[in-house]
Structure 1
Amino acid sequence: MDTPQHPAAAHRGDGLRDTALRALRTAGTSIGRLVSGLGTALPALLVLLWAAVTAVTSLAGVGLLMAPAVLRALHALAGRERKRLGRWGPEVIAPDPPPTRLRLALADPTTRRELRWLVRHATLGLLLGLFGVFLPISAVRDTAFPLYWRLAPTDATATSLGIGVAHSWPDALAVGLLGLGWITILLGLGPGMARLQARPGRQLLTAGPDVDLSLRVAELTATRAAALDAHAAELRRIERSLHDGTQNRIVSVTVLVGAARRMVARDPAGAGELLERAQSAAEQALAELRTVSRSILPPVLADRGLAGSLAGLAANCAVPCRIDIDVPERCAASVEATAYFVVAEALTNVAKHSGARQATVTARSRGGRLRVRVEDDGHGGAEGPSPAGPRGEGGGSGLRGIRSRVAALDGSLLLTSPPGGPTTLEVDLPCGS
């Protein structure tokens, strides 16, 4: 007969399991950050060597010709690192574009900070990135060694360090213990290594304090103006919908009911017909009122969440639409509503104007940011040279409304739509707005 488990013991077991899962997730994230850092550390080493060669040859005058190219490569690599850091954490705000002329670059503080970052990332960042590749491979290899050591060639190296030979079970188990040691190092030091690798970029690649403050003030001023404009536009839209639709329906109901009252004594059949028309008008007014209320904050967001809501929009789109949504946690209601309306407006434009055969909706939530992408294979031209074009903002396509909604939440919007397509709309929103 099974003995029932004590509730306290079950609670402790659940707590240990949750702790282990959190540790594994943290370690996996740390590995991803370290390996992604390797993607910029290797080019940083090449740019650093290129800069050193340019500095040496500049004494003979040859390196002066290569200096602008080196500076452009440095600035491009620094921009790539800012984007990488933004994917794994808070956004790194870029300063004003630094100069590429050598004399101006030598006196530019942004260029000097980028050079300091280059040296640190090409050395320490590269080493930490290599650890991010070596540690998980060594942990898996050494931990699993006791399972296959008899199949290994005789006198083959037993450990991932390239030393030691296993001739017996104790030797194989010792290698397995070494693998557990790698796992312990990865779990304990992985997050710190990832932070250490990212620290030079977050310290040196962001805008300076004065520049950052003025930039932030300008951004907040523009955001406040956009929020007020979006709020006023939304009020005008609701007032227009109520005035042109619901109010007219209710007036019609009032007129029909009054006429039916006057006719009920002398023409009951005609009064009944008027009451049926009044009931139909009242039902239409109720439907329009429900539509207006849902356009303020769709209830489907509360019922099904952002993922389910976007899936519903994709299913109802006239153009075949694929979805790829990974939003594990709920965002603020205003952010989810904005993402919902952005996708709804974008898919409406795709169906009406693009001539596309397929569309794709992608949503990702990473590092406190919600990124939404809508892409179609239509003929493009969403922002053509004519502002009143078929899909331009002046043509009533709703792009200005999308921009206002996104700006009101301190987000960013990028629209790419060359003639001939494809059209890509990307929106980046802070999850906690």
Structure 2
Amino acid sequence: MQQDALTGDRNTTLKETVVGTLRGAGTATGQLASGLGTALTALLVLLWLALTAVTSLIGVGLLMAPGVLRALHAVSARERTRLARWGPEVVAPEPPPTRLRPALVDPTTRRELRWMLRHSTLGLLLGLLGVWLPLFAVRDTAFPLYWTFMPKGLTATSIGIGSAHSWPEALAVALLGLGWISIVLGLTPAMARAQAGPGRRLLAAGPETDLSLRVVELTATRAAALDAHATELRRIERSLHDGAQNRLVGVTVLVGAARRMVARDPAAADELLERAQSAAEQALAELRTVSRSILPPVLADRGLTGALSGLAADCAVPCRTDVDVPERCAASVEATAYFVVAEALTNVAKHSGATHATVTARARGGRLRLRVEDDGRGGADEDGGSGLTGIRRRVAAHDGSLTVASPPGGPTTLEVDLPCGA
């Protein structure tokens, strides 16, 4: 019995080791592949930077400098977002400058340049290996299954050395595939760490950054998020208590009265049942309204593009949408974007006196940017009960930003910046 227990424990340990190795290699491969995307972008920005530096000798590059600096900061922010998806958050420093002279002496910009040089070279190479090695492993390991169906000139190994003309040679290629698998299982986690290392060291806030301000900001946004959550729960409870619950109580009373009257006055009982059915239908409609206010089903059915188009179509003011969101964001981010636009369009219809509104949404570099603009009278006041405080709390819960420009006489522009994956 003791021997059987020891054997079972060893089998369990072996199984956990195998599963952990496979899971670690799969995660590392996905991390390397995602790093390949930012490495290619960093390489393009690096080439643009080199072109800007060369053409600055004749003055042309000076005009491109703000653009290339914004691109540098954008790809760095995208890398921070990517690293946060695969591990601990990389705390961003204060926003670096985009003007040339301050950027030349800014330590954050210098660290981002050092990261870009490493990521566009070593990071690119590691990303390519992270994609190619699994393909090599699959191709060579499965080689005996299909080599007889291929033309003789196409029966070489994945690295192009040697070719198979017989079954022993095909099995030798399969052994090479097993070698690729060993490399993938053994080295990809270290490769992923090597690819992410420069970003975690160089893109995080440096020693000159006062992180106490960041802690205060995060504490405030967390408190705002909890307050917004509590407010939302109170709204849902009030809607259910004052609406659907009261109607359902009325249904119960009417049904009870109808049961007592059905024997002596069937006509009156039928009238009461009809009233009970009408009250039940109204309660069902209110329950649907409350459920839609929690998480609109249109987001799951049609995505953010369709949901924003529906909001624009239902707006009392003619509204045009311009949405370019190629990939789905996190469900909580899409819900926040939906409610922000819904509240903004409600404000436009109620308070602005506008004749036209525009909703713009863009997803780039791991950020979702919303813009709602109208040609109304302006003068929007966050303290005037316009719903802007609620919008700011929703945005702050995702560590996003809200900017409102509404001079007297208009126009009013509301801009929101959200992380796509939060």
Q: TM-score range by the shorter chain?
A: 0.5 to 0.7
User: Within 1, Cα distance between the matches of 2:373 and 2:142?
Assistant: 59
| Distance change in 2, residues 1:406/1:50 (3 Å) | closer
Contact 1:370 1:428 in 2 (8 A): no
Within a 5 Å distance, the mapping from 1:259-274 to structure 2 comes to none
- The residue type paired with residue 108 of structure 1 is D
User: Within 1, Cα distance between the matches of 2:97 and 2:373?
Assistant: 31
Match of 2:107 among 92, 104, 109: 109
Aligned residue number for residue 191 of structure 2: 193
User: Within 2, Cα distance between the matches of 1:296 and 1:187?
Assistant: 50
**What is the TM-score normalised by the length of structure 1?**
0.58
Aligned residue number for residue 129 of structure 1: 127
Shift of 1:98: 1.5
User: Within 1, Cα distance between the matches of 2:270 and 2:13?
Assistant: 63
Aligned residue number for residue 95 of structure 1: 93
Partner of 1:207: helix, strand, or coil? coil
Contact 2:56 2:62 in 1 (8 A): yes
User: Within 2, Cα distance between the matches of 1:279 and 1:178?
Assistant: 78
Aligned residue number for residue 153 of structure 1: 152
Partner of 2:94: helix, strand, or coil? coil
Shift of 1:238: 3.3
Partner of 2:25: helix, strand, or coil? helix
Q: 1:235 and 2:229 equivalent?
A: no
Shift of 1:91: 4.4
User: Within 2, Cα distance between the matches of 1:40 and 1:244?
Assistant: 51
Shift of 1:38: 1.7
| Distance change in 2, residues 1:365/1:13 (3 Å) | farther
Percentage of matched positions with identical amino acids = 45
- The residue type paired with residue 105 of structure 2 is A
Match of 1:322 among 301, 312, 334: 301
Aligned residue number for residue 182 of structure 1: 180
Contact 1:142 1:160 in 2 (8 A): yes
Q: Residue deviations 1:135-166, cap 9 Å, x none? A: 12211222223334454426x67322232344
Partner of 1:158: helix, strand, or coil? coil
| Distance change in 2, residues 1:52/1:296 (3 Å) | closer
Q: Residue deviations 1:267-314, cap 9 Å, x none? A: x979x999999999999999999999999999xx9xxxxxxx98xx46
| Distance change in 2, residues 1:295/1:131 (3 Å) | same
User: Within 2, Cα distance between the matches of 1:77 and 1:161?
Assistant: 33
Shift of 1:217: 1.7
Q: Indicate the larger mover: 120-129 or 403-412.
A: 403-412
Within a 5 Å distance, the mapping from 1:279-428 to structure 2 comes to 313=297, 322=301, 353=315, 372=334, 381=358, 383-385=372-374, 403=391, 406=394
Shift of 1:44: 2.2
- The residue type paired with residue 198 of structure 1 is A
Shift of 1:183: 0.8
- The residue type paired with residue 374 of structure 2 is P
Aligned residue number for residue 223 of structure 1: 222
Q: Structure 1: where are the runs of 5+ without partners?
A: 1-5, 258-267, 302-308, 325-341, 357-361, 416-423
Partner of 1:37: helix, strand, or coil? helix
Partner of 2:177: helix, strand, or coil? helix
Aligned residue number for residue 331 of structure 1: none
User: Within 2, Cα distance between the matches of 1:429 and 1:102?
Assistant: 31
Contact 2:243 2:286 in 1 (8 A): no
Q: Structure 2: where are the runs of 5+ without partners?
A: 257-262, 321-325, 346-355, 360-371, 404-415
- The residue type paired with residue 47 of structure 1 is V
- Output the aligned Cα RMSD: 5.9
User: Within 2, Cα distance between the matches of 1:103 and 1:283?
Assistant: 73
Shift of 1:126: 1.0
Match of 1:143 among 135, 141, 144: 141
- The residue type paired with residue 84 of structure 1 is R
Shift of 1:24: 4.2
Shift of 1:181: 0.5
Shift of 1:39: 1.8
- The residue type paired with residue 187 of structure 1 is L
| Distance change in 2, residues 1:411/1:180 (3 Å) | same
Contact 1:139 1:180 in 2 (8 A): yes
| Distance change in 2, residues 1:158/1:411 (3 Å) | same
Shift of 1:77: 2.2
Partner of 2:301: helix, strand, or coil? strand
Would you say how many aligned residue pairs link Structure 1 and Structure 2?
363
User: Within 1, Cα distance between the matches of 2:275 and 2:61?
Assistant: 81
